[in-house]
């Protein structure tokens, strides 16, 4: 029981650290770059930014108030575990946003740079929080629900889809089209940074090797490259001969070495290479269970 408690505490502490660092990056993106330049970065924070502009209510406080009913939705649709993690992240995010908003100096010299760097800060902050299996509430919950229905839809793109209404609203509130255009740049930058940090480290190459020495090639990949390999039963359409096809997934920086290994074993080997947008499993991104 003591070991279980220690492990649970370590996980909880790691989650909190990721939340604080992620929320800090998020706050930098909002208070230094987007809010001072009348840019609503989409989602609940975008709505909170507009409310802050109209009535002066702190952005973190407004975000927390908007998230309360969405957390009930999260509890019903995403389960208790996800909701507890989201509530923790929402509380940390709201607190950090309001505290850091007092100290962070605004940048207002170049709205385009503000839109870009605001998107980088927001995207990097969200990525750190998402890495621990939580969300910051708001449209993040909606994006998670969309991804449950469409599992191949990246989170960043799902959030981009649900944030457009805030952009249109911001152009009317700030009475300038540029606010919506800069907001679009921020959201696009945020989605690219978010997807790159979440999925980029797991991007690699899927390699198919057709050779008369498939078994020997697979052993070289396993022992010398320390990567897995699978032998797929195949049959030559022209020759009619039975043979094995080697299937392996490697990181991009390993492909050149794999290619040389294959041709050292069989100079006549036929290699097919495809981009793998995300690789999950041993040696890559760990598989997370969706069970509640």
Query: What is the mean predicted confidence (pLDDT) over 36-62?
Result: 93
Q: 155-162 and 164-173 helices cross at what angle (nearest 10)?
A: 40
Residue whose entry in the numeric block shows the structure tokens 């078994």: 215
What's the whole-number average pLDDT of the chain? 85
Higher pLDDT, 165 or 52: 52
pLDDT(248) > 60: yes
Question: If you compute the radius of gyration of the chain from its CA atoms, what whole number of angstroms results?
Answer: 24
Quick one: how far is CA 184 from the chain centroid? 18
User: Can you read off the two tokens belonging to residue 102?
Assistant: 């007092």
Between the CA of residue 198 and those of 99, 120, 123, 158, 203, what are the distances in Å?
A: 27, 14, 10, 14, 10
Cβ atoms 217, 266 nearer than 8 A? yes
CA atoms of 37 and 42, how far apart (whole Å): 14
pLDDT at 234: 86
Query: What is the mean predicted confidence (pLDDT) over 14-39?
Result: 95
CA atoms of 84 and 2, how far apart (whole Å): 23
User: Strands, E, within the chain: which ranges?
Assistant: 204-210, 230-235, 242-251, 270-276
Cβ atoms 123, 191 nearer than 8 A? yes
pLDDT(199) > 80: no
What are the pLDDT digits (tens) for 152-187? 666 666 666 777 888 999 999 999 999 999 999 998
Higher pLDDT, 64 or 130: 64
In the beta sheet, which residues pair with residue 209?
A: 246, 271
pLDDT(228) > 80: yes
Q: Which of 13-17, 144-148, 186-190, 266-270 has the lowest mean pLDDT?
A: 144-148
Domains and CATH numbers, the chain: 2-201 (no CATH), 204-276 (3.30.70.120)
Query: What is the mean predicted confidence (pLDDT) over 246-265?
Result: 85
pLDDT(3) > 60: no
């Amino acid at each position: 029981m003591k070991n279980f408690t220690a492990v649970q505490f370590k996980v909880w502490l790691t989650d909190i650290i990721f939340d604080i660092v992620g929320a800090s990056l998020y706050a930098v993106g909002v208070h230094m770059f987007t809010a001072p330049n009348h840019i609503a970065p989409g989602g609940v924070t975008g709505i909170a930014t507009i409310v802050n502009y109209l009535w002066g209510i702190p952005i973190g406080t407004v975000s927390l108030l908007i998230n309360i009913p969405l957390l009930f939705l999260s509890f019903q649709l995403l389960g208790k575990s996800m909701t507890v993690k989201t509530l923790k992240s929402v509380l940390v995010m709201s607190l950090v946003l309001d505290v850091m908003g007092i100290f962070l100096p605004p940048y207002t010299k170049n709205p385009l740079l503000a839109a870009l760097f605001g998107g980088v800060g927001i995207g990097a902050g969200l990525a750190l929080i998402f890495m621990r299996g939580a969300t910051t509430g708001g449209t993040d919950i909606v994006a998670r629900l969309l991804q449950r229905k469409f599992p191949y839809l990246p989170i960043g793109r799902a959030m981009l889809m649900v944030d457009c209404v805030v952009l249109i609203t911001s152009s009317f509130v700030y009475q300038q089209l540029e606010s919506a255009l800069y907001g679009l740049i921020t959201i696009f930058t945020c989605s690219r940074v978010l997807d790159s940090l979440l999925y980029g480290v797991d991007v690699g190459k899927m390699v198919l090797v057709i050779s008369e020495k498939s078994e020997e090639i697979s052993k070289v990949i396993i022992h010398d490259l320390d990567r897995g390999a699978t032998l797929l039963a195949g049959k030559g359409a022209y020759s009619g001969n039975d043979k094995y096809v080697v299937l392996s997934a490697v990181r991009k920086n390993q492909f050149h070495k794999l290619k040389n290994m294959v041709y050292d074993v069989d100079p006549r080997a036929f290699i097919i290479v495809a981009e793998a947008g995300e690789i999950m499993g041993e040696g890559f991104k760990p598989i997370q269970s969706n069970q509640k």
